[in-house]
Structures are given as C-alpha cells and as structure tokens.
Structure 1
Amino acid sequence: MGKIAIEFQNISKQYALGSIGTGTLSRDLNRWWARIRGKEDPYLRIGEENDRSKKAMGNLVWALKDINFHVEEGEVLGIIGKNGAGKSTLLKILSRVTSPTTGCIRARGRIASLLEVGTGFHPEMTGRENIYMNGSIMGMTKAEITRKLDEIVAFAGVEKYIDTPVKRYSSGMTVRLGFAIAAHLEPEILVVDEVLAVGDAEFQKKAIGKMQDVAKGEGRTVLFVSHNMGSMQQLCTKGILLDNGCISFSGNICETVNVYQSGIALQNEFVEGEGAPEILQLLYASVKSSDGDIYYNNSEIIIAFKVKVAKKVPSLVIGFNLYSSWGHPLARADYNDNNDLTTLGPGIYCFIFKIPPYTLSDGNYHVIFDVAERNIKCYTTEKSSLSFTIVQRGTNGFGNRFCEQISIKSSLFRENWMVGFQMIESLDHEA
C-alpha cells in the first residue's frame, strides 16, 4: 500500500434551499454561538436526501452525506454519477472553494483544480498575467513559472492571444489555457471536473494524454470527473460511484462503470402489448451486447426483432435506423429479399442483425424500427425505440470506421448487417 495523498473523513455538505442562513436572526445567532463554542450546528438534524427529481419537503438538503475514502499517491480516481449526485461539490470541498458542513479532508501537497470554465482567471488580465497569478497562488516562484511558460502556451495553443485579456477568449480557449496551467505547474494533486467536454476532440485527446503522463510518468494524483465512460476507462485505475450525495459503489474503474451503466434507465427491450390487429406488427425487439450487460466499442451489438405479417404487402419495409443521441441519422439496415419484398406470406418472422466490433465509438445510440407499407403507413411508434450506450474498452489499432464514414456522408446510408431471418410461425389460416 502506497502513501495516502488524499483522505476524506466523514465529509458531509448541507445547503439551504432558496435562502442563505437559517431564515431567522435568532437561529443565525444560535448557529454562530454554537460554532464559536466548537459545538455542532443545532439545525443540522433538519435535512433530506439530495434527490433532485423529487420535490423538497424541507428547506435543507444534504448535497453530500458521510463520504469516506482515500486516494493513494500516483492513483487516478474517476468520480462517476448522474447530474446532481454531488461530484462537483466533492471537488469544490477538496479545492477549498467551499467548506464541508461536517468532517475533514487531509491532503499531501499542492492542489491544482479545473472545476469550471474560467476558474481562477481574472477577465481583465491577459493570458500571460493569469498564468503568473495562478502559479503564485499555487506557491510557485516567478522563476519556476517563467521556466514553464512556453510549454504552457504551446500546449494551450493560444500563442497569438497570450497578451490579450482573457475576457475576449472563447470558452474553448479558456479551458485550454486553464488546463495547461493546472497540468504544467507541477501540482502534487490534479483535480479536473467536466470542463474538458467544452474543448474540441483534438484537445480532449491531448488533455487525456497529459493526465496519463502526470499520473503514470510523474507519479502524481489525479481526481477526474466526466460523463464520458470511454475517457474514464482509458485514464482511471479506480472509481467511486456517487448517488444522491452518498457513495453507492467503490472499486476498480471497470467495475464502477459497469455498475453505473447497469443503473441507467435505457430501454434495450420492447414487447408489444395487447392492441388492435394490424396488417404489420412489431411484436418484440431487443438490442444486446456480446459482452453481456455492458456495450464496449469492441463488442458485437445484436439487434433482434419479431414481426407479424397478417397478409402479403405489395411494398413491404422491415428494418431499422440508427441515430446518435443528438438525433443525427447514422445508418440504416433492413431485410431485403432479392429486392422483391412481396414474397413474405402471412406469418411471424424473426430477424437478427449484428453490428460488428469497432463500428461505433463511445456514446449513446437510438434504434428506431421501421415496419411499414412503403409510402402508405408505418406501424411502429416511439415506444418501440431502443437505446444503448457504447463505452470504450482501452485503446485499439483499428480506428473508428463508422465515424470516418459519418465524416464524409451527411445523410443516412445503408449497412448490410442482417445475419439471420426465418419464419417462426405460419399464419396462412388467418389470411
């Protein structure tokens, strides 16, 4: 076991909803007098769980509750959780932006934090002046900062604007410079929140590489918060999962990501309920991974569905469209009986499609089924749509064929993913 770099001991943080203070002068005085005497806040017992989806019953809420864990030197810890779980609050307490209501944190060494766009920057000062100011706050001498200056500016890619006031920087430029300062001024502990998502893909890749160098090459400690599970698995060694202000799971990063992904409410299976008889009906659909409950970028994605054909349809359409989480159409796959779809007689048919490994990059995807009479009527609705999340399993040498195709094709294109088709029940007697 290595030396402990950071230790969280019974950390809790309580906030008042809608007001500052307790609400009355007498209660504020009671709280102040208790603090002077070193006593516990007399109003801490009033509070509720930090569940942002439910209406508050009181005026106090626990953003964090009884957080206990430690991080060893040279370890990269990923902090995972839904929006509002308490991730940023935890890092703000560590960075001394705010103080805990109860408990304490012990840290060895200097802490550099990048919590929000523009953290620690004075908008009227130039980029160069902000570098010196941030370095001085971290306890570095002017000579040490000057020695690192060119490296910081080159990494951030803002040479042209280094003597321009930061208020004229774009959010991306501000994040670049902020991260470069935090990573290059040799802190023992680097704290990075969701801000890297603001940068472009090229910068995110550089930033991940730099954090790997800081942790593995230089033996420093990194705390990383992100919703990008691919980056988490690529960078982190351990992880903790926060849920409503409490630690719900702690373990290696793969286990933590698996637990988090399994708890996301994505619909990966659809079963048609009772309804009016239709000429065409999607009875069942599912999207599964060859790796079980988690969908890796090198997993084989299996999409299977059953369709009821009540009678022959002159222009039959059976297939699905794949969309990104932003609703951008990516690809289409469908059944094609030698370009003559009139041969399907009445029956229930099973279709199986497989998306090959390394086809999809990490992110969320939606499958929209298309069971229709061409140019007449579609017999599927939004309730049958499926969704899944791809996470990256380390690095690979295959590249991302799918993303390369997207970059040169702006419209939906066809993929030949069907691997199985059979009639599982004849309905000739219903024709």
Structure 2
Amino acid sequence: MLALKAENISKQYRLGQVGTGTLSHDLNRFWAQIRGKEDPYLKIGETNDRSSKGNSEYVWSLRDINFEIEQGDAVGIIGRNGAGKSTLLKLLSKVTKPTTGKIYTNGRIASLLEVGTGFHPEMTGRENIYLNGAILGMTRKEITRKFDEIVDFSGVERYIDTPVKRYSSGMYVRLAFAVAAHLESEILIVDEVLAVGDAEFQKKCLGKMGDVSKGEGRTVLFVSHDLNAVSQICQTGILLNQGLVEYKGAIRETVSTYLNSNNDSVIYLNQKDNSAKSMFIREIQVVKNNGEVSKEYLYNEPINFKFTIGINEKIKDTSFFVTILDSRKRRVFSCEREFVDETMSLSIEPNTLVRGSYSIHAFINQPKVAQLDIAEDVCKFTVIDPGSYLSKHGEYDYGSVFGRYVWE
C-alpha cells in the first residue's frame, strides 16, 4: 500500500522578495488563471545552482519530482547543500505548497524539520507533548498512555515542566524527536536535526528509527549528510541534484552514485605543473591481466594497478603507500612498497573485494617526515559478483572483503 506519492511536483521561489513577487506579478498570475492559461512565471526561472549568479529573479528549488513510497519503507534523501532536500520535506509535510504537481499521502505525518518544529516556546515540555499529539489527531488519553515513554526516551524529565524556550538546542531536539517518534503517526519525516544531539542520543535515535520502520511498519523519510547512518536505516534512496532527481534505487547504489558523481574515470593522469616536486605520481591505471584498462572486474579475477612515477630528484627513504576505499570512502585495507621506481605494479588477488564500488588513495611518502605527492580518491572501479557464496544475500551490506577463515 502506498504511503506517499509525489506527482510532477515543482517549487519555484523568487529571489530577494517576500511572497510571490510584486502586485503586478500577482495580477498577471490571477488574469492567466481566470482565462484558463498557464501561470506565465512558470515558463521562466533557472536551475537552483547556489554557487553561481544567475540572470533570472526566479529559481526552481525543485523541478518535476516523481516517486512512490510504500508503507513501511525507510527512504534516505541525500544530496549536496542546496539540492532541494529540505524543500522536498517541507512540501511532503505540507508546511508549504508545491508550485506545480500533487502530493498524495496516506496517514498522519509527524515531522522534525528543524530544532523546535511544532513547539511553542512559552509552553512547557509537558504542554508541548500534548499540543503535538492533538495536532496529529490523537486523544488526550492516547497521549497520556505514551507520555512516560516519551519523557524517558528524551532524557529531559527534570525540565519537563519548564518552558521550552529555556531548553538548550540539544534538549529541544531530544524532546522533539521523542514526541515525533512515539506519537502514533503513520509517516515520520526527519531532516538533518539529529546532529544537534550528542553521540549517545544520535545512536539512540538511529535505533528508534530502525524500530519504527522495521518493527512498527511505519514509513520513514530521513535526510542526513551522515551517509553511514542513512545506509544503516534506509533500504531505498533518492539522490537530489540542483532540484532534480538524479537517482532512485537501493540505498547502497544511491550513496555510491552520490559519492562518485564528480569523478568516475578509471585512469588518473596528473596534468599539473610538477617541476617543483622531487617525485610525483604521473599516472595510475586499473587493468585486467591482459593489460586492458577496465572499470569492471569479477570478484574472482585479479585487479591490477599500474603506477607511473615522475622523478625529478631521487629522495632517500621514500615509500609508496596505497589504500583501497569503498563506496562510502571507508578505508578497506592498505599496502606499502618500501622503495619507489618509475614504473610499479600492484595486484589484488581474486576473492578479495566483495561486490561494490571502489577507488584508491595513493601517495609517495617519507614516513613520519613528509608526503611528497598524493592522489586522493581516484581510479573508480567496480567489482561485480554474480555467483560467490555471499551473493545469495542480495543487497545486504556484508562488508568490503572476503574473509580468510576456517570453520571447525
């Protein structure tokens, strides 16, 4: 059963103004509407690129967004700052209306979009719990039944009868999340607010969101820049880029697409001026056993790296250090060659890396003295696994390497 459906939703803003614009613009809109014509200002506007100055005073924060979310799904929404994530959640929460398109929801929505969402600063924590429950359509008896659980989870029992305007931001978000997660809504929407809490509370919240989705069958939409947290909680993902949906699919592929969107070349070629460096990495290639440059490798075939080093001055006691990174930029393993030549090769044995996307991080090093040159997060390649003993687990995240072990 569908919990949420977005149908061609877009959101347009006018820069530097409050509201939709001038009186003349509003009259033009009204005149177009009574004649049955399209809003004339929907024909203009630019993509929401925050880093560049545009020519139009209108900007599309979101454009033609379509998706369906099933009941019980946990969906992670990721993307760069300014991609439209918070705007999308405000539309889904009905805080603001879309410029075009329709949103269909099935059930009550509890939102935590920013610190203090839905709280009245002059009211106490106790009063705000009852206020939030009433907004969600719950009876006083239902809220009372959940009250002790909410207060215990939030950890602010001592201040529950204090006006929330005197709470710290951490206390605010503790109580706000506890209310949103425990009151009986069918859909829970959480923006990047948990970062305000301490590490212990963040861990507690992530566990609760997992329980809400998997155990209670409620729908969760989660925006965060903590990709490990998103990957832990969510099964599916939506990647936004400049107001457009760039990718929808399993969370593992969504995160990988986001992290690898800027550079997907399997060859690293250093084209900088390296005349001032004594030694530098000139080129790196990822190749198969036959010497063919390739971006894809089977889990049970070797993966070879060819390094070409430029040497302007031979430096003593240098080594060459290589680290393999997975799709979330975690370091899988490292290796080192204790001397540097103009050409070097490194081979990873078959049955080492499990399926997924990888890159390398390499540098010429004087241990504990200096790094002479570095190539960071380069040479993107993919390992595919159609038939290992772990492939039957599908999209389950079972790490990055096959273990060497013996069962007894």
What band does the TM-score fall into relative to the shorter chain?
0.7 to 0.9
Tell me the distance in 2 between the aligned counterparts of 1:217 and 1:154. Answer: 20
Give the drift of 1:102: 1.2
1:53 maps onto 2:47 in alignment: no
* Counterpart contact for 2:151–2:178, Cα < 8 Å: yes
Q: Number of residue pairs matched?
A: 358
User: After the TM superposition, which of the residue ranges 143-152 and 166-175 deviates more from structure 2?
Assistant: 166-175
Task: Report 1:207-218 matches (<5 A).
Answer: 207-218=205-216
1:151 maps onto 2:141 in alignment: no
Tell me the distance in 2 between the aligned counterparts of 1:160 and 1:285. Answer: 60
Amino acid at match of 1:201: A
Tell me the distance in 2 between the aligned counterparts of 1:48 and 1:245. Answer: 10
Tell me the distance in 1 between the aligned counterparts of 2:266 and 2:69. Answer: 36
Name 1:282's counterpart in structure 2.
281
Name 1:202's counterpart in structure 2.
200
- Over aligned residue pairs, what C-alpha RMSD do you find? 4.1
Q: Deviations over 1:71-113 (max 9, x none)?
A: 1111112222222111111110111111111122111111000
Name 2:319's counterpart in structure 1.
318
Which of 257, 261, 265 lines up with 1:259 in the alignment?
A: 257
TM-score normalized with structure 1 length: 0.70
Amino acid at match of 1:58: S
1:386 maps onto 2:387 in alignment: no
Task: Report 1:78-93 matches (<5 A).
Answer: 78-93=76-91
Tell me the distance in 1 between the aligned counterparts of 2:245 and 2:231. Answer: 19
Amino acid at match of 1:150: D
SS of aligned partner of 1:194: coil
Tell me the distance in 2 between the aligned counterparts of 1:332 and 1:15. Answer: 48
Name 1:369's counterpart in structure 2.
363
Given the superposition, is the C-alpha separation of residues 394 and 286 from structure 1 closer, same or farther in structure 2, using an over 3 Å criterion?
A: farther
Identity of aligned residues (%): 54
Tell me the distance in 1 between the aligned counterparts of 2:361 and 2:88. Answer: 36
* Counterpart contact for 2:274–2:280, Cα < 8 Å: no
Unaligned runs of 5+ in 2: 288-293, 297-302, 324-332, 349-358, 381-394, 401-408
Name 1:124's counterpart in structure 2.
122
Tell me the distance in 2 between the aligned counterparts of 1:260 and 1:141. Answer: 43
Which of 159, 162, 166 lines up with 2:160 in the alignment?
A: 162
Q: Deviations over 1:17-56 (max 9, x none)?
A: 1113565422222324555787643322121222223321
Amino acid at match of 1:226: S
Given the superposition, is the C-alpha separation of residues 283 and 18 from structure 1 closer, same or farther in structure 2, using an over 3 Å criterion?
A: same
SS of aligned partner of 1:282: strand
Task: Report 1:298-309 matches (<5 A).
Answer: 306-307=308-309
Tell me the distance in 2 between the aligned counterparts of 1:232 and 1:195. Answer: 13
Unaligned runs of 5+ in 1: 295-300, 323-330, 355-364, 399-431
Name 1:350's counterpart in structure 2.
344
* Counterpart contact for 2:279–2:314, Cα < 8 Å: no
TM-score normalized with structure 2 length: 0.74
Tell me the distance in 2 between the aligned counterparts of 1:22 and 1:209. Answer: 41
Given the superposition, is the C-alpha separation of residues 394 and 122 from structure 1 closer, same or farther in structure 2, using an over 3 Å criterion?
A: farther
Name 1:238's counterpart in structure 2.
236
Tell me the distance in 2 between the aligned counterparts of 1:149 and 1:228. Answer: 30
SS of aligned partner of 1:43: helix
User: After the TM superposition, which of the residue ranges 84-93 and 116-125 deviates more from structure 2?
Assistant: 116-125
Tell me the distance in 2 between the aligned counterparts of 1:237 and 1:27. Answer: 44
SS of aligned partner of 1:99: coil
Give the drift of 1:165: 2.4
Given the superposition, is the C-alpha separation of residues 209 and 397 from structure 1 closer, same or farther in structure 2, using an over 3 Å criterion?
A: farther
